[in-house]
Amino acid sequence: MDKIQLVGLKEQYRSIKADIDSAVLGVLGKGNFILGENVKSLEQEMAKYCGVKFGIGVASGTDALDLSLMALGIKEGDEVITTPFTFIATSEAISQAGARPVFVDIDLESFNIDVTLIRSKITKNTKAIIPVHIYGQPCNMDEIQKIAKEFNLTIIEDCAQAIGAEFKGKRVGSFGKAGCFSFFPSKNLGAFGDGGMIVTDDEELTKKLKMLRVHGSKDKYYHIMEGRNSRLDEMQAAIVRVKLNHIDKWNQLRIKWASAFNNNLADLQKADFVILPKEVSGVKHVYHIYGLRAKDRDGLKAYLEENGVQTGVHYPIPLHLQEVYRDLGYKKSDFPNAESLAKDIISLPLYPELTQEQVDYISKCIKDFYHK
């Protein structure tokens, strides 16, 4: 069997090659490469998909977060609450706005921010909260909205891993002031390069974000503020538009393969070798990542690699223990759940184009490792 990659980018391209090729060629022929018709259409389509009014295409998921905080006026002296179990882009956006990231531990059911611990971290400087729908499983948005209302906090959702995921039947991106998406190639809805999108119901915020992404200009060369160069290009927008038509089917296949892994590995869980990912009630989890908790994680990882299965670790060091954040004053055992997950979590290959044969082969390798 060929090596099984963590993400099946080539397989996905093959499955929709004709449509992607014609979308790209269409852009090449028009000669309009930045913020054109495809970006405009994708903004509307993404907004509609998420159940909100507006979309703003930007250069990456990181910029979607950065520009949102900037536009919402997060600044020096402010505190923003988030999870330590995420990619650094989430906390970077907070620091780079001049504010302080305040971490709250996760719960071990959902791997998302533990909503029962948030209140104790709120101070008079707390301005916002960034829930991250990690691995594609939505946070408890009922509780987060309740807390935000009580303390007058702005919610900015980090939806980079969760397009199409739902909390109580409502899609992520529609719960906060702004929902931030990434089109990084390996995400569930990936471009062929970098790209990102903010969705929102707020028209004023939309206008501001559309200025910020082009150096704060209202009309070309008329600047009323400073901004960035953070535009989504036409080629990426054209590609993402083709893929958006397939996202529900693809997410459904991710759910199918996750459930196949759960079935295949149930006995290993009974024998205490692994802990299968859980879905909390009331959510639709879209399995951007299938995160298995595994005894001797590093041994298993090496064994799978030897047997032609690429895996990942998302993430080996929680943010509060990253070297870059020494000055924030966090220490080991501040967030025991995030720390224990970082030690034993492993991401198995999971993408729509997997086959039953591959899922069974990966599962067999894992069983062989524990029974050898």
Ligand X SMILES: *Cc1c(COP(=O)(O)O)cnc(C)c1O
**Shortest Å distance, C-beta 6 to ligand X:** 14
Q: What is the DSSP letter of 119?
A: G
Q: Residue 197 CB, nearest distance to ligand X (Å)?
A: 10
Cα–Cα distance for residue pair 217/200, rounded to 1 Å: 20
Shortest reach from residue 192's CB to ligand X, in Å: 13
Residues 292-351 that bind ligand X (CB under 6 A): none
Asked if 369 touches ligand X (CB under 6 A), the answer is no
Residue count, binding to ligand X (CB under 6 A): 15
Strand partners, 29: none
Closest residue by beta carbon to ligand X: 61
| Beta carbon of residue 326, minimum distance to ligand X (angstroms, whole number) | 22
Stretch in the footprint of ligand X (CB under 6 A) among 158-166, 219-227, 229-237, 327-335: 158-166
Exactly one of 12, 38, 62, 68 binds ligand X (CB under 6 A); that residue is 62
Radius of gyration (C-alpha) of the chain in whole angstroms:
21
Q: Which of 8, 61, 101, 131 binds ligand X (CB under 6 A)?
A: 61
Amino acid in the structure at residue 67: L
Where are the strands (E) in the chain, listed by range? Answer: 54-58, 79-82, 100-103, 126-129, 154-158, 166-167, 170-171, 178-182, 196-200, 217-219, 222-223, 274-275, 283-284, 290-294, 345-348
- Number of Cα atoms under 13 Å in the Cβ half of residue 249: 7
Cα dihedral: 189, 339, 258, 271 (round 10): 170
Residues 137 and 110 sit within 8 Å (Cβ to Cβ): yes
x/- track of binding to ligand X for residues 81-110 (CB under 6 A): -----xx-xx--------------------
Q: Choose between 87 and 370: whose C-beta lies nearer to ligand X.
A: 87
- Using CA of residue 159, residue 74, residue 48, residue 218, what is the dihedral sign? negative
d(CA 305, CA 52): 43
CB of 184 to ligand X, least distance (A): 4
Residue 30 beta carbon to ligand X: minimum distance, rounded to whole angstroms? 25
């000669």: which residue's tokens? Answer: 31
Q: Which stretch binds ligand X (CB under 6 A): 35-43, 157-165, 201-209, 322-330?
A: 157-165
The binder of ligand X chosen from 132, 189, 209, 350 (CB under 6 A): 132
Residue with smaller CB distance to ligand X, 38 or 91: 91
For ligand X, the closer of residues 137 and 154 by Cβ is 137
The residues in 194-223 that bind ligand X, with binding defined as CB under 6 A, are 194, 196
- Any contact of residue 68 with ligand X (CB under 6 A)? no
Which of the 8 DSSP states describes residue 351? -
Q: How far is CA 292 from the centre of its chain?
A: 18
160 binds ligand X (CB under 6 A): yes
The torsion angle over the Cα atoms of residues 327, 328, 329 and 330, rounded to 10 degrees, is: -130
- Angstrom distance (rounded) from CA 61 to CA 87: 11
Residue 137 binds ligand X, judged by CB under 6 A: no
* Whole-Å CA distances, 27 to 197, 239, 265: 20, 10, 46
Least distance from ligand X to the Cβ atom of residue 89, Å? 4
Using the rule CB under 6 A, is 236 a contact of ligand X? no
* Complete DSSP assignment for 60-72: -HHHHHHHHHHHT
What is the full DSSP assignment across 203-271?
A: HHHHHHHHHHTBTTEEETTEESS---B---BHHHHHHHHHHHTTHHHHHHHHHHHHHHHHHHHHHHHHT
Out of 66, 158, 233, 339, the only residue in the binding site for ligand X (CB under 6 A) is 158
Q: Which of 12, 38, 60, 154 binds ligand X (CB under 6 A)?
A: 60
Nearer Cβ to ligand X, position 264 or 322? 322
Q: Which is nearer to ligand X, 61 or 318 (CB)?
A: 61
Site for ligand X in 164-193 (CB under 6 A): 182, 184
At its nearest, how many Å lie between ligand X and the CB of residue 160?
Answer: 3
Binding site for ligand X (CB under 6 A): 60-62, 86-87, 89-90, 132, 158, 160-161, 182, 184, 194, 196
